Structure 1
Amino acid sequence: MKDIRDAILSGDRSEGTYAGLTIPDTYRAVTVHKDEVGMFEGMATKEKDPRKSLHLDDVPVPELAPGEALIAVMASAINYNTVWTSIFEPVSTFGFLERYGRTSEFAKRHDLPYHVVGSDLAGVVLRTGPGVTKWKPGQEVVAHCLSVELEDAEGHNDTMLDPQQRIWGFETNFGGLAELAIVKSNQLMPKPGHLTWEEAASPGLVNSTAYRQLISKNGAAMKLGDRVLIWGASGGLGSYATQMALSGGATPICVVSSPEKAQICRDMGAELIIDRSAEGYRFWNDENTAQDPREWQRLGKKIRELTGGHDVDIVFEHPGRETFGASVYVARKGGTIVTCASTSGYMHEYDNRYLWMNLKRIISSHFANYREAWEANELVNRGLIHPTLSKTYSMDEVGQAALDVHRNAHQGKVGVLTLAPEAGLGVTKAEMRASLLPQIDRFRNA
């Protein structure tokens, strides 16, 4: 592995150099173990500690299948699906791996007693499997996390509708929180040259997810002038939605949970901000068995105070159970609630009168198709959207990094160095970087 790292750090990107490197038999990877699935049984979600379930192991290098690429991973990032995997909620990911393993001879490799996690990476191509023509050893890449088989007609117009659609590193094995990773070659995209390894690794999942959810015709199809309520606007997902709203001529109304997070939104250029901690909203009563519509009304009144009397055209939803009733209520008549996750709970409840009588729409959105992921990466590559990296951990600190995300004790995205020996490496477009540095460092300086 040292030879691989040294070749990357040398700056040499010639195909011959990387094709000639020896691939080791094993590599270091962050894993969860199948025999520990029951370790948190009986505990409340918030009490489950990823530091106990995430391990740093030496694991065998799998054989490459046709259409795949082996990547030397310089950096990765923590997403909420890593948290879900680590606490075995809502279900153990080993069920995903078992089902995938039954589909083909090559898929059998994924059904193992350990799961290498992680759905982001930035690194260098080391090897490609049979049939790969676009990518060569030595190329710098990032990866999106959509894994599909492309054998079913249902997915040919929108790859997210493929019956065999999976999220790499969550519903498949050999993810990005490791020194090496295996991806399908159609997951690869060019690494933005003005970013470091850890910066480049951080946008992939959340940037693509926000793009489909907010911008794409498959999501809310945001347009110039729209007013957009963004929950968790300084977080891993919301921070990209906020940037997209601002860049696309919309007006974000940013919901955050502290003055510090409010300031980050102001630094991004947002002006309309709701600090939940200051407002003290309690959408559910103490028993968590019924919602309080008066709190929905209070949120709606606050939004209209900020917007000059207007309700929002779009609600960018991802907290789920805690906020969904309020989200349905505050959208304007004919407005859209677009949801991609349920970090506070999956069983959503809302008053259907406010949906049906006011002709509102609920749209589901999940990650992004190939084209959407590529377009989202191009926004980063062109310097129109910026990474929101706030802190970088080493591989042996991944448990703590995941705990920070689990407890919402982070800003933006949390990165992880894998093969990179230190932060700040990997920039090839220094002049472009210098012109964008205030935006790139915005979350680090928070």
Structure 2
Amino acid sequence: MDSLASAVLAGAGPEELARAEVPTDYLAAHLRAEDMSGALASPSPDVREYLHVGRVPMPVLAPDEVLVAVMASSINYNTVWSATFSPVPTFKFLQRFGALGGWAKRHDLPYHVVGSDAAGVVVRVGDGVRRWRAGDRVVASCVQVDDHEPASHADAMLGGDQRIWGYETNFGGLAHYTVVRASQLLPKPAHLTWEESAGNLLTAATSYRMLISERGARVKLGDVVLIWGATGGLGAFAVQLVKRAGGIPVGVVSSEAKAELLRGLGCHVVINRAEIGIGGEVPRTPQRTAELGDRLARAIRQAVGEDPHIVFDFVGEATFGLSVHVVRRGGTVVTCGSSTGYRHHYDNGVLTTRLKRIVGSHAANLQEQWECNRLFQLGLLSPVVSAVHPLENVAEAARLVQKNQHVGKVGVLCLAPRTGMGVTDPALRARIGEDRINPLRNSETDTPEPVLAG
């Protein structure tokens, strides 16, 4: 281990961190451009073939950037997209970014360090950084914005030059070190461990914008909210946010095992889609969509007595037509991501004649990220980490997410040598209670291999 990482793990202060030498290279999960043609030729690429863990050169910091020693990270679905070079090979993102010149040129490399979550310790700051210093414990937002772009000052997600760090940029969070812009950082919740903190910001803040923000569906007291994939990272946070806002979450899952986990999360209205005959089929005609949609609508009415005000849909192609069908007259479908595909099939007559709305959403701006992180700091939102892997096992961790054989978030230890580290407010943790802090975590998941699957 290099001297800077050793100093971080020893809890060194700013002066000692400044004296420790930044290594010339570091361990990172990365893709290789040379693998792209083989992956694109494969009918079913396996992320394990293309996610490599090895040493890469340390980049130079731009004036507005921060070098963070990453204690833990997590797997998001964009890492699956990256490692299957689909729907767009991420090396094309890096080439376009690099073509801007200046500091952006560093990102156009024959390797891509991936990962869009991180919790760690600031070890260096660029000359233009004012709000952070070495030794600060931070979590990283996934969004990089161009603050010279006028639209970014209204809403950063409207900026044409906003990018997702570790997906559309290089030097991501699944590594011992990561390079982020200072405007990506937020304080780490003091009562959470490194792996708990690292599994939150991308998915929780995305769910926050979709459901709570004025730019999303704006859940209010008594709203019935249908949540697809309710035991996934986005879905498990959506359940918590709807409950905190006074709404009624209706979770959709694919198995009874996941249904039981969801009830343990506090979602009392659970629909197992396999039990009502809306399994893996993608309905592609209005007639079939209506048939399957009616089955789902009946199940919702039987459970809560009415149609949903809001449908939370990140699944995409496999579910979107059903979402438009079942949301009530005048209701809202809020969508992001589309993990099963971007080509959505739905009946526009149902949308228009019943005055339904579709709200597109993408990540969250810094203020929304801050508000969401505040809820974690107050203990009002709980992490949903279900398994933790070492960085060396990152490909297996990503495979779980690729095959939908996970619940909640799959964490990855980077520099942290074991789980359970990083808590600086044990009193708050004790007041909240261990069972409430991470309701999807099984004590056995401290082993390198995942145990919560299916």
Q: Same fold (TM over 0.5)?
A: yes
Range moving further from structure 2, 283-292 or 407-416? 283-292
Rounded Cα–Cα distance in structure 2 between residues aligned with 1:443 and 1:267: 8
- Residue 395 of structure 2 corresponds to 399
Contact persistence 2:382–2:439 (CA under 8 A): no
Contact persistence 1:283–1:292 (CA under 8 A): no
Secondary structure of 2:138 counterpart: strand
- Residue of 358, 376, 382 corresponding to 2:378: 382
Contact persistence 2:28–2:175 (CA under 8 A): yes
- Residue of 201, 208, 212 corresponding to 2:198: 201
5+ unaligned residues in a row in structure 1: which ranges? none
Contact persistence 1:70–1:128 (CA under 8 A): yes
Give per-residue Cα distances to partners, 1:196-241, cap 9 Å, x unaligned. Answer: 1111100010011000011101111111111100001111110000
CA deviation after TM superposition for structure 1 residue 81, in Å: 0.1
5+ unaligned residues in a row in structure 2: which ranges? 443-451
Give per-residue Cα distances to partners, 1:4-58, cap 9 Å, x unaligned. Answer: 333233334x2212111110100000000111112123433xx321110000121
Rounded Cα–Cα distance in structure 1 between residues aligned with 2:38 and 2:211: 37
CA deviation after TM superposition for structure 1 residue 284, in Å: 4.2
Instruction: Note closer, same or farther for the CA distance 1:157–1:241 as it changes in structure 2 (3 Å cut).
Output: same
Rounded Cα–Cα distance in structure 2 between residues aligned with 1:369 and 1:150: 12
- Residue 171 of structure 1 corresponds to 168
- Residue 411 of structure 1 corresponds to 407
Task: Answer yes or no: is 1:22 the counterpart of 2:18.
Answer: no
- Residue of 349, 356, 359 corresponding to 2:355: 359
Give per-residue Cα distances to partners, 1:267-289, cap 9 Å, x unaligned. Answer: 12111110112222158479999
Task: Answer yes or no: is 1:145 the counterpart of 2:145.
Answer: no
Task: Answer yes or no: is 1:4 the counterpart of 2:4.
Answer: yes
Alignment of 1:36-435 (within 5 A): 36-44=35-43, 47-282=44-279, 284=281, 291-308=288-305, 310-435=306-431
Give per-residue Cα distances to partners, 1:56-97, cap 9 Å, x unaligned. Answer: 121111000011000000100000000000001101000100
Rounded Cα–Cα distance in structure 2 between residues aligned with 1:368 and 1:71: 21
Range moving further from structure 2, 133-142 or 2-11? 2-11
Instruction: Note closer, same or farther for the CA distance 1:98–1:289 as it changes in structure 2 (3 Å cut).
Output: farther
Secondary structure of 2:387 counterpart: strand
Contact persistence 1:284–1:290 (CA under 8 A): no
Q: Paired residues, what number?
A: 442
CA deviation after TM superposition for structure 1 residue 394, in Å: 0.8
CA deviation after TM superposition for structure 1 residue 365, in Å: 0.2
Secondary structure of 1:269 counterpart: coil
Contact persistence 2:172–2:178 (CA under 8 A): yes
Contact persistence 2:227–2:239 (CA under 8 A): yes
Instruction: Note closer, same or farther for the CA distance 1:153–1:286 as it changes in structure 2 (3 Å cut).
Output: closer
Rounded Cα–Cα distance in structure 2 between residues aligned with 1:283 and 1:335: 25
Which residue type is aligned with residue 277 of structure 1?
A: A
TM-score by length of 1: 0.96
Contact persistence 2:4–2:23 (CA under 8 A): no
Secondary structure of 1:221 counterpart: coil
